[in-house]
Amino acid sequence: MTHIDAAGTRLHAPTRPGGLTSGEVAERVARGEVNDVPVRSSRSLTDIVRANVFTRFNAIIGVLWLVMLCVAPIQDSFFGFVILANTGIGILQEWRAKQTLDSLAVIGEARPTVRRDGVTTEVRTSGIVLGDLIEIGPGDKIVVDGECVEADGLEIDESLLTGEADPVVKASGDRVMSGSFVVAGGGAFRATKVGREAYAAQLAEEASRFTLVHSELRSGISTILKYVTWMMVPTAVGLVISQLVVKQHGLKDSVARTVGGIVPMVPEGLVLLTSVAFAIGVIRLGRKQCLVQELPAIEGLARVDTVCLDKTGTLTEGGMDVTELRAMDGHDEAYVRRVLGALGESDPRPNASLRAIIDAYPDSEEWRCVESLPFSSARKYSGARFSEGDGETSTWLLGAPDVLLPAGDPALAETERLNEQGLRVLLLARAGRDDLDVPDVVDGAAPAALVVLEQRLRADAADTLRYFADQDVRAKVISGDNAVSVGAVAAKLGLGGSAVDARRLPAERHGMADALDGATVFGRVTPQQKREMVGALQSKGHSVAMTGDGVNDVLALKDADIGVSMGSGSEATRAVAQIVLLDNSFATLPSVVAEGRRVIGNITRVATLFLVKTVYSVLLAVLVVCWGVQYPFLPRHLTLLSTLTIGIPAFFLALAPNRERARPHFVRRVMRYAVPGGLVAGVATFVMYLVARHHYTGAGSLEAETSAATLTLFLISMWVLAIIARPYTWWRVVLVVSMGLAFVCVLAVPALQTFFALKLVGVAMPWTAVAVSAVAAVALEFLWKWVDRRFPA
């Protein structure tokens, strides 16, 4: 609330402080009294290196690699070099993603307005010093602690700090806390605590930091790796004993084959490929001016089944135009124009509606504002008391007709008709009392005019809504505007469904959830209701995304599964959102969904490849221990197989386009294919190995037995790859065929035969291997089809 004396001076601010001087700022910087809280959008380089190098599986593989370097030829140690390459790629990809995030975060970062040397200037948040005078208005986040110096109807939401949803009215001398944000009015405060001393400084940092929030992919992979470790340890111990004690072969050969049995149990590339897929997704979206502040948000939006849209700033552009002014109850239109011009001048921080009025009706200098009440989304009106120059005073309100007028008023019928055309209507009313600072000021208000405004629809909104409809994602328009008007706007964009006035929604969560399921458009929604509506949808099991750009969207954005803010939105909305559309293009959202689906679908594919290998490796080790035979493979054989049937194909498959709808239960979906696939591969390979052992006798037979088993495992693994690569495209066919040709080259080139210790002997066993592989391929097809029927995803 602003009170103005007879001379036109604001009573709460007899003088306008000029802020610090340049010299005072320099002194404070020299003393370290700056807002130096490090706000990062991603992990530091040290953290990236540590996370990629010091892993449980890298430790296991590293120890085995060092052993192999001591006891075996270099080709049996290739698996260690592969780990080095994978780790290096992981570090480089995440570093690249970090640079993209950091650069985009700078673009999206708000720049507070401070007064220095008597003038206002924008500075970076880190450039604020102790004692700075910071100006604030609707939507601005309080970035440091301070004391209010000026207050012009200033209302601050401290819910992110205290949990209290109601805005707090601030007056000169009141304390303001970092982490809160302005919802109405304006003013200025002096910074009293900066940097790490500021209350909720860490909250402000965490709001925009790169974090690993809940991700079904990440948690699912962690679960898989945990079980793999439990299986791997006892199996590896049994394998070591059988190879070193039971068979009593040469130490170096036994060690080599033991390591060859342990290494493939580790699905080390799976974690890497997941990180790479996410990182590349961030980079791709960054090029489209989409800032992903929390990496798994890409995945989260792809799993969303309900998108809650705020009309203003999302479906419509920020600007408006006055299309018509209708004077009522005999009021002179010229007089009404003067009132509107004076109202526009009375608000130092006008919203979009008032800016349109200011553009249409310039201020009359004859009128002087005595008292003003800025607009707030909770009240849904603003007001001012004027001295009209002839000694007369009048008090005027401007806001929603259905809030300022009682039910049944004739003016509401005309308003409803205009709303049905998608137009926004404000009512200018003369208050029946002079005191604005009371809740019942609207009682007895006399309508003077209807101000008709037309909102500018976003050109890309209709296509985006159609995309969500095609993807079975329900759109809910949740707005503070009149429900009929919002419904008309939604209808223009092709979004059908009934419109509901939120003031008539049940307060109980279950009843609200049922109402939300039955309608599409909701008007007159309060900020607290937006939050409750998100919670009600979540209580029904829906995964909810919320878009918005105004301060009235902050609480709902914070509670939604995924919050999406426009880049031109308020600082507060950008701080709590996981995704920020820096170019304010609603059309970017389908790109985020598509990127998430690419990551989820492709990682599910390649995870099956990796885990089939883990299952057959564990099974082969168990069978070797039970039969008391020598392990059939050296590390070089499994390195070759893993590279051709998993490593290279998985890299291309993980980054390929994928429009498959995201589905839940990642672990179950992967394991239902990996277990039968691994069992078939392991049993068929071991059977072929036993047949070859029986067929080949004499010196040098071990290499022939190993070659026959390797051919069998390769062919089965290639069939698994061929199944995973479906549906086929030209490049997938080329990928599968080229991996097969590469293996043929190894078998055909003498130097490669010697290098990899592979040589097919005779005709009977190689063709037997092909026959066993063919039977295994038929079994794989049958089993996976049976799994699809018996355990649908």
Active site residues: 310
* 589-627 vs 701-724: helix crossing angle, rounded to 10: 150
Closest residue by Cα to residue 290 from 598, 531, 593: 593
Closest residue by Cα to residue 611 from 720, 709, 712: 720
Report the alpha-carbon distance of residue 156 to residue 40 in Å, rounded. Answer: 26
Report the alpha-carbon distance of residue 211 to residue 223 in Å, rounded. Answer: 20
Residue with tokens 């691994």: 678
**Residues 601-631, buried b or exposed e (16+ Cβ, 10 A)?**
bbbbbbbbbbbbbbbbbbbbbbbbbeeebbb
Tokens of 777: 């391929």
Write the CB contacts of 521 (distance below 8 Å, at least 6 apart in sequence): 476, 477, 479, 483, 486, 487, 490, 495, 497, 498, 499, 500
Report the alpha-carbon distance of residue 789 to residue 74 in Å, rounded. Answer: 47
Residue 375 vs residues 343, 354, 530, 543, 572: alpha-carbon distances, Å: 11, 9, 19, 33, 18
Neighbours of 260 (CB within 10 A): 29
Report the alpha-carbon distance of residue 246 to residue 296 in Å, rounded. Answer: 49
Q: Where are the alpha helices (DSSP H) in 628-749?
A: 635-642, 648-654, 666-695, 701-724, 730-748
Write the CB contacts of 790 (distance below 8 Å, at least 6 apart in sequence): none
Phi, psi of 437 (to 5 degrees): -85, 45
Q: Is 426 exposed, middle or buried (0-12, 13-18, 19+ CB in 10 A)?
A: buried
Peptide bond into 727 cis (omega under 30): yes
Half-sphere exposure of 549 (CA within 13 A, CB side): 21
Q: Are 713 and 641 in contact (CB under 8 A)?
A: yes
Give me Rg for the CA atoms of the chain: 34
Q: How large is the greatest C-alpha to C-alpha distance in the chain, in angstroms? A: 121
**Residues 40-50, buried b or exposed e (16+ Cβ, 10 A)?**
ebbbeeeebbe
Report the alpha-carbon distance of residue 100 to residue 242 in Å, rounded. Answer: 51
Cα end-to-end span (Å), the chain: 59
Report the alpha-carbon distance of residue 90 to residue 12 in Å, rounded. Answer: 58
Closest residue by Cα to residue 301 from 663, 664, 592, 581: 592
Report the alpha-carbon distance of residue 82 to residue 238 in Å, rounded. Answer: 26
Give the amino acid at 736: V
Q: Is 106 exposed, middle or buried (0-12, 13-18, 19+ CB in 10 A)?
A: exposed
CA 684 from chain centre, in angstroms, equals: 44
Half-sphere exposure of 609 (CA within 13 A, CB side): 33
The full DSSP string for 160-185 is HHH---S-EE--TT-EE-TT-EEEEE
Report the alpha-carbon distance of residue 133 to residue 116 in Å, rounded. Answer: 8
Q: Is 247 exposed, middle or buried (0-12, 13-18, 19+ CB in 10 A)?
A: middle
Report the alpha-carbon distance of residue 91 to residue 102 in Å, rounded. Answer: 16
Report the alpha-carbon distance of residue 471 to residue 354 in Å, rounded. Answer: 38
